[in-house]
Structure 1
């Protein structure tokens, strides 16, 4: 978890403690506030000590219980600031995958050059509907989120229209393992690899593959997307990280450049894709 995120969460906890101890109804102990809210008192202290992130309902309830309902907008603003950087999957997927896809589509619309690194999956920007369907289904099962798979697939596929926009550039690098990962049936993967081959001739797409045998300048860690050097979105199991500070973006861009140095393109990349598509 990022240092800036934790500092902001600590600051929110300090503000919550202040409301608990100085409210117009007098000082409340942690157990007293927990009893009012129907929470274990351990939750009170976890929130105040920055060891747990409140949700919007928690903050509204806290403001009401401490006699400061007027503080709710301020607390919610602080929460919004937190979530602008660390967006938990649990919250994002509360209503399914479609809203997440819509948020990403909005960023794509604002972007001229998109830099993509993926180490385990074919990037969403070039997925076939069947491949995307398999990925969404597995993720929804993991996160126990609502199943809006078909809506999410349609949103992802519509976003791919940008691949044919002459004003945009997509610079994509993948680890060879992403071509071979059976996150779907072999038939679906074969069709997906055929789709990659077809996209390699587009002048709006640069596609590179980092072979298993390539000497690496940096280890092929988690996937990330760089939007015009103004935003990075990186995925982890618990959350998406939306990173917009200049220094951090520069680190990701250097990382992408190092990965690119290990990649092959053109005929050499096509050869690896073809090899991955052969029956096993």
Structure 2
């Protein structure tokens, strides 16, 4: 399973385009007639109707006016804005620094009851120690962010952690075994991080599963993702941050999480793998 910004955004554009086509047909207008009323070239209408072009808010208002459906303009504009916010490049999200990126999801985290996370690169942010978080964010800052506000970004993540572990939220975390051994920080920091992970695993609100590495591990290439209840999925891609809100796509991620959970070990077996990773650090 793999999502790309192009495929997900295109599907959302097509859904919006289908609504616009239906609106035109209900008004008994051809594409050329609608184009004439809107004052633009028919090729623009064709691109919008195929989902290849994203209409501006002015385009949507003109379309609704041409179809005599001005009352639907606000709803269509809201739908178009949702498409625009589906995918954000990291460089755009982080151009003002890393703290803003951390704070941008605070409301979403606050209103989520059940978090389900799949991690294949680094440990989930909600169970990171301050030192591990600093190492991860520092590597990101050096690679792609000009503003150095790593200290503030770490504090923003810690503020979110305090909110999350208030007892009002539940967590299902699936972690690839190799993440327990990934050299994202020095051995001392990693040992402390894994010790913290063991402590978190004892919480009644947290379920931690570790997917063992080995020849018996089924090949299921999946990008890191966060499931917020069944309302939204956040996918961390190499190039940016993808928000998925389409029910059908969310269902795909729920199913994938279930499949990954079946590959994982939990409880004492998961703790043994974490402990073994600590032992390799000396």
Superposition deviation, residue 158 in structure 1: 1.4
Alignment match, 2:73: none
Map residues 1-280 of structure 1 onto 2, 5 A cutoff: 1-6=5-10, 80-213=81-214, 215-217=216-218, 219-278=220-279, 279=281
RMSD: 3.4
Please, which runs of 5 or more residues in structure 2 have no aligned partner?
A: 18-34, 42-50, 57-76
Which deviates more, 219-228 or 253-262? 219-228
Against the structure 1 CA distance between its residues 272 and 149, is the aligned structure 2 distance closer, same or farther, given a 3 Å change threshold?
same
Q: Distance in 1 between matches of 2:227 and 2:218?
A: 19
Paired with 2:173 and 2:204, the residues of 1 have a C-alpha distance of 13
The 3-state SS of whatever aligns with 1:219 is coil
| Structure 2: distance between partners of 1:84 and 1:109 | 20
Shift of 1:173: 0.8
Deviation at residue 106 of structure 1 after TM alignment:
1.3
Q: How many residues are treated as equivalent by the alignment?
A: 238
For structure 1, the 5+ residue unaligned runs are: 13-17, 28-49, 54-58, 60-75
* CA shift for structure 1 position 184: 1.0
Moved >2 Å (runs of 4+):
1-4, 6-12, 50-53, 76-83, 162-167, 213-218
User: Aligned partners of 1:268 and 1:162: how far apart in 2?
Assistant: 29
Compared with structure 1, are the counterparts of its residues 252 and 9 closer, same or farther at alpha carbon in structure 2 (3 Å cutoff)? closer
Using the TM superposition, give the Cα deviation of residue 120 of structure 1 relative to its aligned residue in structure 2, in angstroms: 1.3
Larger relative contact order (CA 8 Å, sep ≥ 6): 2
1:175 deviates by 0.2
Distance 1:170 1:229 in 2: 13
3-state DSSP of counterpart to 1:207: strand
Rate the CA distance shift 1:99–1:268 in 2: closer, same or farther, 3 A: same
Instruction: Name the CA shift for 1:238/1:167 in 2 (closer, same or farther; >3 Å).
Output: same
TM-score (structure 1 length as normaliser): 0.73
CA drift of 1:8 comes to: 6.5
1:81 Cα deviation from its structure 2 partner: 3.3
What is the CA distance between 1:160 and its match in structure 2? 1.2
Q: Give the deviation of 1:217 after TM superposition.
A: 4.9
TM-score by length of 2: 0.73
Q: Deviations over 1:6-27 (max 9, x none)?
A: 3677999xxxxx9xxx68xxx9
Q: Aligned pair in 2 of structure 1 residues 83, 127: CA closer, same or farther (>3 Å)? A: farther
SS in structure 2 at match of 1:195 = helix
